[in-house]
Chain A
Amino acid sequence: MEVDEVMCLPRLPRVAVCGGTHGNELSGVYLVREMLKVEKKVVEEEEEPVLVMIVLSNPRATQQCHRYVDTDLNRCFTHATLNGPMSDTDPYEIVRSRELNTLLGPKGSRQAVDLVCDLHNTTANMGMCLITYSDCDWICLHIFRHLQKEIPDIPMRFIHFDVSNKESYSLDSVGKHGFAMEIGPQPHGVVRSNIYTAMKGGVQHMLDWVRLFNSGTMFKGGFVDVFTMVKHIDYPRDSVTHNITAAIHPHLQDRDFCLLHPEDPLFQTFSGETLRYKGKEPLYPFFINECAYYEKGIALSLARKRRVMGFLVFKG
């Protein structure tokens, strides 16, 4: 299909690669540690060098190999939290989010880094996903298309959370552009070689794209299938203890991004009964059985898929 629209965008001189935002998501932790060992701030051969900042986001949680110490760091980047009053008793992660905002932001300002790539792992069978707040950020969309082309053997999806900039809460929202690179399945506290390698490749190709873009390469338009989050579904719970009373059904487990139809099995109770999806609309499930989401009341998330036509982009 011919795409006539053309978009000219500013170059991206500063990119941040962040790992260990959740201290037990180990591919990002080890990748960032390796990159810090061989840190090259400026590559001299380039005409337009990229400054790559490599950040271990939550050092205390990483040291303990826990998701967080006091509170989930990746929910601490709303404007309200970043700019709210400070106190001596602030949770560690709120203090840290403000430090990161000073380092990579301030969020919403001209000084913010151009692109934040925040590395995550999930226990869900999601392959590689780029997660953003926008379905029309052409930088992120083109990076996604580039990764799809360069890493064809890994299932790759683009996830969009329709949250306004004012309400955006995660680390990647600090940069002018940003996304989370989420790869699974990997148990928390474990590093799987194939997942680490996929993440390493993803980051490398992302940086390659930025360098190509900065040096004037034009990227043709095309399309991306975008999964826009619609709602979450919690586990059935005991009304008194709040403990879950069922697990993700075996027919749904590991079937992230396989269309879920009304009446499809959703949960299996501990006595073997099947509970079915009662929604009216077929939707795409993802983050199925993510460990960290039990406490957030999320058994799975559901998305609509739509095709977004891309602009041809080049650096202006």
Chain B
Amino acid sequence: MESVSFPPLSSIAICGGTHGNEMTGVYLVREMQKHKVDKIGSVSISTVLSNPRAVDVCRRYTETDLNRCFTDALLSSAITDSTPYEVRRAQELNAQLGPKGSEKAVDMLIDLHNTTANMGLCLIFYNADYLPLQIFKYIQNKMLSVPVRAMQLDIPLSDAYSLDSLGKHSFSIEVGPQPNGVLRADIFNIVKEAVDHTIAWLQEFNSGSTFKAGEVEAFTVVKSVDYPRDPVTGEISAAIHPQLQDNDFKLLKPGDPIFLSFTGETVKHEGEELYPLFVNECAYYEKKIAFHLAQKRTFKLPSIHMKKD
């Protein structure tokens, strides 16, 4: 593959508290704001507390999930008195960090999240943008004491619904397991290190370094599985099976247990071999997702370097 060039990446946004109870991002952004971090070398940095109202009450959101409000449709929807807070806030963020899809948008947006699932350090991105993939490869090689993986959402930009879709080249950093509302030092240290490595990579990129070609594996979500539910009340009637619990990214085969009902029955996986992700994520109970299932794909990366004028 020929080497691919990109313009310098000089403006980045680091966002936390997109979900107000995912504490690592909240505290990392607050810490950067306290120390007035706005430029590191060639990179100017905006730090944004995405959903301040949700952060204040330590809830995921106040009216609706902010991280589903960034589709083209919602960003251009008319604001009325009954528009939920988060839809308005998404439009504010779009004006500040976007507009989505335009030349004025920040070069890179990194959105910090936590999960109750045992996902280690996971970078989440749309499509096969070489820049985040090269950063992923870089972080994977630097951070050896924690599992580092990538998850890809195969969605066109117009339908892309999350905050990171505002930036030109963006990704979310998702780290778990951490309970909502709790701040763990080990998880904080992991996220801080990943952010530091990302900024270091950007410095190197902007100074003219070439990042070699290679291959990375990433997980592409193909479907989601809900909990078994009571047909009358809609309440879940089983929990994630102990053999699946905490085994994100471990291949799930037909016949493997996935749920253990509250009365002791085992439900088994039927269908193809796939990789489970976001196993027992707290916020997904209401979205009717017990876990996602993904295929593992290999992405070939060209070498990349900064485009010189």
B partners with A: yes
The answer to the question of B240 belonging to the interface, with a C-beta cut-off of 8 Å to chain A, is yes
Most buried by B among A189, A249, A250, A291: A189
Chain A residue with the shortest CB-CB distance to B30: A243
Chain A residue with the shortest CB-CB distance to B243: A193
> How many angstroms from the CA of A191 to the CA of B306 in the assembled complex?
48
> How many angstroms from the CA of A193 to the CA of B227 in the assembled complex?
13
Contacting pair A192 B184 (CB below 8 A): no
Contacting pair A190 B282 (CB below 8 A): yes
The answer to the question of A123 belonging to the interface, with a C-beta cut-off of 8 Å to chain B, is yes
> How many angstroms from the CA of A291 to the CA of B240 in the assembled complex?
22
Interface size class of A (residues with CB under 8 A): 20 to 34
Provide the residues of chain B in CB contact with A197, threshold 8 Å.
Answer: 242, 260
Contacting pair A247 B188 (CB below 8 A): yes
Contacting pair A194 B179 (CB below 8 A): no
Known contacts A30-B262, A34-B263, A253-B186; A189/B180 CB under 8 A: yes
B266-300 vs A, CB cutoff 8 Å, 1 = contact: the mask equals 00000000000000101101000000000000000
Main secondary structure of the interface of A (DSSP, over half): loop
> How many angstroms from the CA of A243 to the CA of B29 in the assembled complex?
13
B245 in complex: contacting residue of A194, A243, A289, A294, CB < 8 Å: A194
Known contacts A243-B30, A250-B189, A270-B31; A190/B116 CB under 8 A: yes
Contacting pair B116 A244 (CB below 8 A): no
Known contacts A34-B262, A187-B282, A248-B185; A192/B179 CB under 8 A: no
Contacting pair A189 B285 (CB below 8 A): yes
Contacting pair A270 B285 (CB below 8 A): no
The answer to the question of A188 belonging to the interface, with a C-beta cut-off of 8 Å to chain B, is yes
Contacting pair B282 A189 (CB below 8 A): yes
> How many angstroms from the CA of A185 to the CA of B246 in the assembled complex?
13
Provide the residues of chain A in CB contact with B188, threshold 8 Å.
Answer: 247, 270
Provide the residues of chain A in CB contact with B30, threshold 8 Å.
Answer: 243
B residues 226-256 in Cβ contact with A at 8 Å? 235-236, 239-242, 245
The answer to the question of B27 belonging to the interface, with a C-beta cut-off of 8 Å to chain A, is yes
The answer to the question of B79 belonging to the interface, with a C-beta cut-off of 8 Å to chain A, is no
The answer to the question of A33 belonging to the interface, with a C-beta cut-off of 8 Å to chain B, is yes
> How many angstroms from the CA of A193 to the CA of B290 in the assembled complex?
13
Provide the residues of chain B in CB contact with A192, threshold 8 Å.
Answer: 239-240, 245, 280
A residues 178-199 in Cβ contact with B at 8 Å? 185, 187-194, 196-197
The answer to the question of A58 belonging to the interface, with a C-beta cut-off of 8 Å to chain B, is no
> How many angstroms from the CA of A289 to the CA of B285 in the assembled complex?
24
The answer to the question of B128 belonging to the interface, with a C-beta cut-off of 8 Å to chain A, is no
The answer to the question of B155 belonging to the interface, with a C-beta cut-off of 8 Å to chain A, is no
Chain A residue with the shortest CB-CB distance to B24: A247
Contacting pair B185 A249 (CB below 8 A): yes
Provide the residues of chain B in CB contact with A191, threshold 8 Å.
Answer: 236, 239
Q: Give the Cβ gap from A250 to chain B, nearest Cβ, in Å.
A: 5
Known contacts A192-B280, A193-B239, A270-B27; A294/B184 CB under 8 A: no
The answer to the question of B208 belonging to the interface, with a C-beta cut-off of 8 Å to chain A, is no
A247 in complex: contacting residue of B185, B235, B240, CB < 8 Å: B185
A236-276 vs B, CB cutoff 8 Å, 1 = contact: the mask equals 00000001100111100100000000000000101100000
> How many angstroms from the CA of A234 to the CA of B181 in the assembled complex?
16
Contacting pair B181 A188 (CB below 8 A): yes
B residues 161-194 in Cβ contact with A at 8 Å? 177, 179-186, 188-189
Chain A residue with the shortest CB-CB distance to B259: A193
List 29 interface pairs A-B (beta carbons < 8 Å), by A numbering. Answer: A33-B235, A123-B182, A185-B179, A188-B179, A188-B180, A188-B181, A189-B282, A189-B283, A189-B285, A190-B179, A190-B280, A190-B282, A192-B280, A193-B240, A196-B262, A244-B27, A244-B183, A247-B27, A248-B184, A248-B185, A249-B185, A250-B189, A253-B185, A270-B28, A271-B31, A291-B179, A291-B182, A294-B58, A294-B181
Q: Top 9 closest A-B pairs, CB basis?
A: A187-B179, A193-B239, A247-B185, A189-B282, A291-B181, A123-B179, A270-B31, A187-B116, A268-B185
Given contacts A250-B185, A253-B186, 10 further A-B contacts (CB under 8 A): A30-B235, A187-B179, A187-B282, A188-B180, A190-B179, A193-B240, A194-B245, A253-B185, A270-B188, A291-B179
